[in-house]
Amino acid sequence: MFWQEMSAGVAECEQNTATLNRLRSCDTALRCFIFPGASHTIFQLIRRALDFQKGSFRIGNPEKFASSSSASSMATPSEVLTIGKNITVLPVIHGSGDFAVEVRRVMLSRSFDCLAVPLPPSFQQEVEAAVAMLPEVSVVLQRNSTGAFRTSSYDPSSESDDEEPNSPDPTCTFVPIDPCQPVIAALRIAIQERMHRGYIDVEADAFEPRSAVLPDPYALKHVVAEQFSAAVLPALPAPDDELQVSRIHALATGLRELTRRHSSILFVVSVLEWPWVRDAFNSVVDPPEATPAPENPARIYAVDPPTLTFVLGELPFITGLYERARDELDDDENLSVDGIKALLLTARDRYVAEFGTRARPITTHLLAVCLKYIRNLSLMERRLTPDLFTLVTAAQQTAGDQFAMCVAETARAYPYPSTEEYPDVRFGVDRVVIPDGTVLQPVSRLPGHPVSWRTLHLKSRPDVRQQIQWQRTWNPFGQCSWPPEDVAIERFRTHVRDVALELLGNDLARTEKFTSSIRDGLDIRETLRNWHTGDLYVKVFPPSRGTLDCVLMLFDSPADPRNYPWRITWHAEHQDESTLSLFATNFMSEMVGPGIGLARYGGCMFLFPPRPIPEVWTDPRFDFTDTLEERLLAASLFHSNERHVAVLSHKPPGAGWRRLASRYHKKLLYVPMSRFSAQTIEQLRMAHVLNGRHIRSFAQHFIRKP
C-alpha cells in the first residue's frame, strides 16, 4: 500500500546523495554547501558516509531488506556512526516507533557494556523507576528553579495582589516514558540486560529543544541507519545558541569519561545533535562548568488518559499495538503502517456498536478508498505515514463525521490503564496542569518532529453527565419536531403514495387485440400464446380511480411494546405536513443536546391533507386490537376517506389484517420495504424531538447523522 510513497522518499534521498557526489571534487565547496564553517572532522564524516555501502538504497520486500541491512551494518559497524575507538552512535528521531525497533535490533545484535543516555543524572532514579512500570505511560517532570512544587493545598489569601494576571506560566522539563521513544526503549533493554547506564547531559533549568523537518522514519524499512543519517546531514542546522553549544560539549565530556571505564558504549542521541557531539568529542573543547544540583527534584506522574496524545510520539492506539506485539512476541516491523489498518478496522467495529443498524455500511471498498485518500494526503504533506489529522480528515470525507469521531477516539485509546500509585497530570497544547492546579509550560527533553495544531470541525457526542443534566431540565409541556426531518419524511410519504398508486393501476391492467393503436405497449406473453392465429395483443392501463390520503409505514413488525414506549399523535403545523400518529423508542433515553432527544420510529400513520383527529392511542374505538401495528392499522382504516390504504412493511398483510380492512370496507395496497434502500429507511427512522420551537435555532449544532 505504501511502497509507492516509499519509492518517492527514497528517490529524493538518492537525489540528495547525487548532489553531494557532484560536490565531492571540491572540498571547499562541499564545506560551504553543507555547513558554513564546518570543521574538518564533520567534512570527513560526510565523505565517509557517502562512500559507505554504495548503492544501499533498496526497494523491495521490507522483511528481506531489514534482515540484510541489519546483518551488514550491525555486525560490522561503520566508521560513520563510530566515535573514538569504543563508542557506537545511533542517531534517532525521538518519538518514533520505527527507530525504537531499530534500537532494539542494534542492542540485541551486538554486545555493549554501557549505554550513554542524553539525560541529566538528576532524572536517572525516577526515569528508571518509571521505565519499570511500562507499559503504563508516565512522565518524569522537573520544574525549573523559578518556582517549587506546592506541598499544601491552594490558599487564595497567599496570592499577592501585585501579581500580573497575564504573567507567563512557569516552565518545566519532562521526560515522556513512552514505549516508542528510542531512548526509553534502549533503557528498557539496558535495565533488563543489567547494562551500565551513564546519564551524561548537563544539569540546567533552561533547556532549549531543537527541532527540524526530517524525513519520515518509515524510510528505515528500506534505508540502513547509516545512509539515513548521512542523507539528512545537509539539512541539519548548526547549533547557534550558547545553551545548545554548552550542552553538546557536556555530552562530549560525558562520553570521554565513559570511555575510560567501558570498552563498548552505545550512544542513543537525536539525529539533530550527533554530528556536533562527534565534532566536539574529536576536538579540543573546554568542559562546561560544574552545575549545582537542581533545586526541584524530578517526580513521576501518571498521565490523564484523554491527554496521552500530547505526550506520546506515536498515536496511543499504535503505541498499544507495539506493546501488545512485545508481550506476545509478535512481529512489529511494519506496525507504523499495519497499525493504521488495524485502527480503521477497530474504529469500524466501534462505529457499528454505537449506531447499530443506523450506521453506514463501512465496506472493504470504502476502507480502500479511505486508505487511498490517506496515502494521497500524506504525500501532499511529504510524509510516508499519516498523522492523526490526516486520518480523521480522510475518515470524515469518505464515511462522515461520526465515523471520523470513532477514528479519533480509537486513535487516542491506550489499552493499558494507569494505576493509582502516582497522581495524574493533564497535558494540553503547550501546557500541563499538575495535581495542585498549577499550570506549567512543558518542554520535552526528548523532542520529536515539530508539531503544528490544526482545527477540524466534528460533532462530538455528549458524555453521560451532560445527558443526565439535559434529562433533568426537560420541560414536559413543550415538544416539537425538527423541520429538516419533517421535510424528508413527507417526501418519502409522497413517494410511497405514488408507488402505491402505480401498483393500483397495475391491478386494473387488461389485454386487448391490436387494432389501430399500440396503446401502453405490446403484451409479449399474450401474443406468443396466440402465435398460431397471427394476432398481436397490447396492454391497456386505465387511469387509476381515486387517490390515497393515508399511508401506513411499519418499520418493525412484529413490534415489541417494551421497545416502543413513546406513542403519540402529532398534528400538522402547516398545510404541507401530515397528521402523524406514531409509536417509537423513548427519546429521553438518548439525549443528543440541550432540549434535543433522539427516537426511532417503529411505525407511523400519515393522513394528508392534514385534519384533526382524536388521540389514536387513547381512543376507545380501537381497544379491540392486540398489537401496536393493529391499532395503527385500525386507525388508518377508520380515518381514511379513500377506499385504499397504502401499507409499507417488510411482509405483505396477512389474512387477519385483510379481514380488518373488510370490516371498514377498505382495501390494503401493499408496498414492499425491499423497494427502498435499507440505508435510506434507517435514516428516515431517526426522529429528533425538540423541547420547544426555540430549540430549532441551534439544534443543527448538536444533531449528528451517522
533 Cβ neighbours under 8 A, 6+ residues apart: none
60: pLDDT confidence band, cut at 50, 70 and 90?
A: very low
pLDDT of residue 130: 94
Helix (H) or strand (E) holding 116: strand 114-117
Confidence of residue 597 (pLDDT cuts 50, 70, 90): very high
pLDDT at 149 over 60: no
Given a cut of 80, whether residue 137 has pLDDT beyond it is yes
| Per-residue pLDDT tens digits for 282-300 | 886 666 676 777 788 899 9
Per-residue pLDDT, 50: 44
> Strand, helix or coil at 86?
coil
Tell me whether strands 439-444 and 431-433 are parallel, antiparallel or unpaired: antiparallel
Question: Mean pLDDT throughout 86-93?
Answer: 92
Percent of the chain residues topping a pLDDT of 70 = 83
Question: What is the pLDDT at residue 432?
Answer: 93
Higher-confidence residue: 17 or 199? 199
Question: Hey, is 447 helix, strand or coil?
Answer: coil
Q: Which residues contact 281 (CB under 8 A, 6 or more apart)?
A: 83, 84, 87, 252, 255, 256
pLDDT at 6 over 60: no
> What is the distance between the alpha carbons of residues 603 and 614, in angstroms, rounded to a whole number?
18
Give the number of other CB atoms < 10 A from CB of residue 355. Answer: 18
More confident residue, 322 or 242: 322
Contact 280, 84 (CB under 8 A): no
Stronger pLDDT, 567 or 10, i.e. the higher one: 567
- Average pLDDT of 512-522? 85
Instruction: Please name which of 223, 226, 222, 219 lies closest in space to residue 80, comparing C-alpha atoms.
Output: 226
SS3 content of the chain, % helix, strand, coil (to 5): 45, 15, 40
Check residue 240 and give its pLDDT.
81
Q: What is the pLDDT of residue 507?
A: 63
Residues linked to residue 302 through DSSP beta bridges, in sequence order: 138, 424
pLDDT-derived band at 15 (thresholds 50, 70, 90) equals very low
pTM above 0.85, yes or no: no
Position 72 pLDDT exceeds 70: no
Q: What is the DSSP string of 550-578?
A: EEEEESSSSPPGGG--EEEEE--SSTTS-
Task: Name the pLDDT band for 539 (thresholds 50, 70, 90).
Answer: confident
Q: How far is residue 153's CA from residue 435's CA, in Å, rounded to a whole number?
A: 10
**With contact defined as beta carbons under 8 Å apart, do 104 and 189 qualify?**
yes
Q: Is the pLDDT of residue 365 over 90?
A: yes
Q: pLDDT grade, residue 523 (50/70/90)?
A: confident
Residue 521: exposure state from Cβ atoms within 10 A (0-12, 13-18, ≥19) = exposed
pLDDT of residue 541: 75
Question: At residue 73, does pLDDT exceed 70?
Answer: no
Mean pLDDT of the chain: 83
State yes or no: pLDDT of 57 exceeds 50. Answer: no
CB 686 within 8 A of CB 598: yes
Distance CA 566, CA 579 (A): 17
| Residue 506, pLDDT score | 66
Q: Which of 372, 338, 416 is nearest to 178 (CA)?
A: 416
pLDDT higher than threshold 90 for residue 234: no
Quote the pLDDT of residue 106. 92
Which of 105-119, 479-493, 517-531 comes out lowest in average pLDDT?
517-531
The pLDDT tens digits for 166-186 are 556 788 999 999 999 999 999
Query: Nine-digit cell at 691?
Result: 423541547
Is-contact 158 150, C-beta < 8 A?
no
